[in-house]
Amino acid sequence: MFIREIYIQRRLRLREQMKEGLVLLLGNHEAPMNYTANAYRFRQDSSFLYFFGLDEPGLAAVIDLDAGAETLFGEEVTMDDIVWMGPQPTMREKADSVGVAAVSPFGKLSETVQQAVKKGRPVHFLPPYRSFNKILLQDLTGIAPAAQAAGASVALIKAVVALRVRKEACEIAEMEKACKVGYDMHVAAMTMCRRGVKEHTIAGFIEGKAIADGYMPSFPVILSQNGETLHNHDHSQILTDGRLLVIDAGAETISHYASDFTRTLPAGGRFTPKQKEIYNIVLDANNYAINTAKPGITYAGVHLGAAKIITQGLQALGLMTGDIDESVAAGAHALFFPHGLGHQIGLDVHDMEDLGENYVGYDDDTQRSEQFGLGALRMGRVLHEGFCITVEPGIYFIPALIEQWKQENKLGQFINYQKVVEYIGFGGIRLEDDILVTPTGCRLLGEKRIPITIEEVETVINS
């Protein structure tokens, strides 16, 4: 948690951007795993954390824009709670710690909201993503869960995005901590990587590191020798010579800022010549993006530049052919690179994705493409100083996709299918770093870059 003044300032800036009515911000509640008292590890809502800092279940807040008043809603702990959980601060102490003037029992929230609804005052809320809050919101506003995303306040979404998207110095310091844990997770994985080791032994170990050194992984660990499946959470295989191990994992700090890194390792300790060729194309695309990203240019443009590097590299290996600009414009590279170059990162690993990807990654000047591949780019808008984003190009050989495109001879003028089928079984390669956009360019987040060149990776694995 940051100092009180940070939260006071953030709410002041939010109020300056909003006109009238109530802003309703719902915290999260315990989410039962298999019975009520056995809950998943608690994760507070990120926007609630951003404006109110309080990291515990059962809270909500209302900002009355017309009266300029802020109220924190929640229950005082009972003696039973103290017996099971230990001493707890009072609601008044919690509100004071983040500079909120008024506190109220949680049960009064419906009265406050319903009074506003009755008077026809706008009640601004964010799109809820948890069932508990969808039901609560229905009780408060009368809006059925299915209609809540559409009923969410665009003005509030835009105001929250505008604030959260540019990271403050205190946030960047937290992201650096998350990157440090992410570094340790990936280097630990490298030192464990050898023939005969089970994937889930590595996945479990690095997940434990995220918990031991931070709060938890910033998302369920992606780790598989079938790395051509972009988000593969199956860790059931044994590391085998000649295969590639994709590890996409990051950490969340106690204050809930995230890191997100991907490295691809030779499962048996050494890359084959064929793997090295593809690996270095992905590395070139990653380095290109880091060398190119700067304020004033669109990330969609950086994505297309990375796609060009991938196309050039695959042409040099005989997998692709034809005019490079036309090939990229047609989206031929998406057979191999079917996802986006990156996304915003912050309190969420895909920062603010709950508010709607297009509000975060696009704006009136940069619209999302519908083309396969480019359409998966979560973040395409103009870059500004203070943005934290991921850089994660990849090349994958996805058998079902190759089979479909080959049968249709899709974009056959740019793809040499005879050669492509020789790579079925290759797997995939993704290399991901996290960057901060600076006044003149960008810099890597994290004190040290996780080993990434072929030589660096093989050295750590075999050390």
Give the interface with ligand GLY as residue ranges (CB under 6 A).
219, 248, 260
Question: Quick one: 22 or 202, whose CB is closer to ligand GLY?
Answer: 202
112 counts as binding Mn ion under rule CB under 5 A: no
β-sheet with 102-104: strand ranges across: 102-104, 69-73, 60-64, 22-26, 123-125
Among the listed residues 338, 342, 318, 451, the one whose alpha carbon sits nearest the alpha carbon of residue 396: 338
Residue 438, Cβ neighbours under 10 Å: how many?
Answer: 14
Q: Please name the helix (run of DSSP H) or strand (run of DSSP E) that holds residue 437, with its range, or none.
A: strand 433-437
372 binds, among ligand GLY, Mn ion, none (CB under 5 to 8 A by kind): none
Q: N- to C-terminal Cα distance for the chain?
A: 39
What is the contact mask toward Mn ion in residues 410 to 439, using x (rule: CB under 5 A)?
------------------------------
- Residue range at the interface with Mn ion (CB under 5 A); choices 18-26, 31-39, 253-261, 439-447: 253-261
- The DSSP symbol for 197 reads -
Report in angstroms how near the CB of residue 248 gets to ligand GLY at its nearest.
5
Report in angstroms how near the CB of residue 382 gets to Mn ion at its nearest.
20
CA atoms of 266 and 363, how far apart (whole Å): 40
Report in angstroms how near the CB of residue 82 gets to ligand GLY at its nearest.
40
Question: Quick one: 184 or 248, whose CB is closer to ligand GLY?
Answer: 248
**Residues 372, 404 contacting (CB under 8 angstroms):** no
**Residues 369, 375 contacting (CB under 8 angstroms):** yes
Beta bridge partners of 382: 298
Report in angstroms how near the CB of residue 429 gets to ligand GLY at its nearest.
15
Q: Count of alpha carbons within 13 Å of 125, Cβ hemisphere only?
A: 28
- Residue range at the interface with Mn ion (CB under 5 A); choices 7-15, 136-144, 210-218, 387-395: 387-395
Question: Quick one: 171 or 248, whose CB is closer to ligand GLY?
Answer: 248
Report in angstroms how near the CB of residue 450 gets to Mn ion at its nearest.
14
64 binds, among Mn ion, ligand GLY, none (CB under 5 to 8 A by kind): none
Among the listed residues 29, 16, 15, 88, the one whose alpha carbon sits nearest the alpha carbon of residue 58: 29
45 binds, among Mn ion, ligand GLY, none (CB under 5 to 8 A by kind): none
Question: Quick one: 219 or 417, whose CB is closer to ligand GLY?
Answer: 219
When binding is defined by CB under 5 A, the residue of 260, 348, 357, 434 that contacts Mn ion is 260
Cβ-based neighbours of 425, under 8 Å, separated by 6 or more: 397, 399
Report in angstroms how near the CB of residue 377 gets to Mn ion at its nearest.
12
Residue 97: strand, helix, or coil: helix
Cβ-based neighbours of 111, under 8 Å, separated by 6 or more: none
351 counts as binding Mn ion under rule CB under 5 A: no
354 binds, among Mn ion, ligand GLY, none (CB under 5 to 8 A by kind): none
- Residue range at the interface with Mn ion (CB under 5 A); choices 107-115, 267-275, 381-389, 390-398: 390-398
Report in angstroms how near the CB of residue 349 gets to Mn ion at its nearest.
7
Question: Quick one: 239 or 391, whose CB is closer to ligand GLY?
Answer: 391
Report in angstroms how near the CB of residue 378 gets to Mn ion at its nearest.
9
Question: Quick one: 64 or 260, whose CB is closer to ligand GLY?
Answer: 260
Report in angstroms how near the CB of residue 264 gets to ligand GLY at its nearest.
13
CA atoms of 396 and 403, how far apart (whole Å): 14
Question: Quick one: 106 or 219, whose CB is closer to ligand GLY?
Answer: 219
Report in angstroms how near the CB of residue 219 gets to ligand GLY at its nearest.
6
CA atoms of 315 and 419, how far apart (whole Å): 11
CA atoms of 57 and 36, how far apart (whole Å): 14
Which tokens belong to 370? 């519908």
Cβ-based neighbours of 392, under 8 Å, separated by 6 or more: 260, 262, 286, 339, 341, 342, 430, 431, 432, 433
Question: Quick one: 252 or 260, whose CB is closer to Mn ion?
Answer: 260
Backbone angles phi, psi at 381, to 5 degrees: -75, 175
Question: In terms of residues, how long is the chain?
Answer: 463
CA atoms of 335 and 436, how far apart (whole Å): 29
- Residue range at the interface with Mn ion (CB under 5 A); choices 168-176, 221-229, 251-259, 383-391: 383-391
Question: Quick one: 184 or 260, whose CB is closer to Mn ion?
Answer: 260
- Residue range at the interface with Mn ion (CB under 5 A); choices 161-169, 258-266, 359-367, 406-414: 258-266
Q: Could you please report the per-residue DSSP string of 87-101?
A: ----HHHHHHHTT--
Question: Quick one: 128 or 182, whose CB is closer to Mn ion?
Answer: 182
390 counts as binding Mn ion under rule CB under 5 A: yes
Beta bridge partners of 413: none
Q: Which residues of this chain interact with Mn ion, rule CB under 5 A?
A: 260, 390
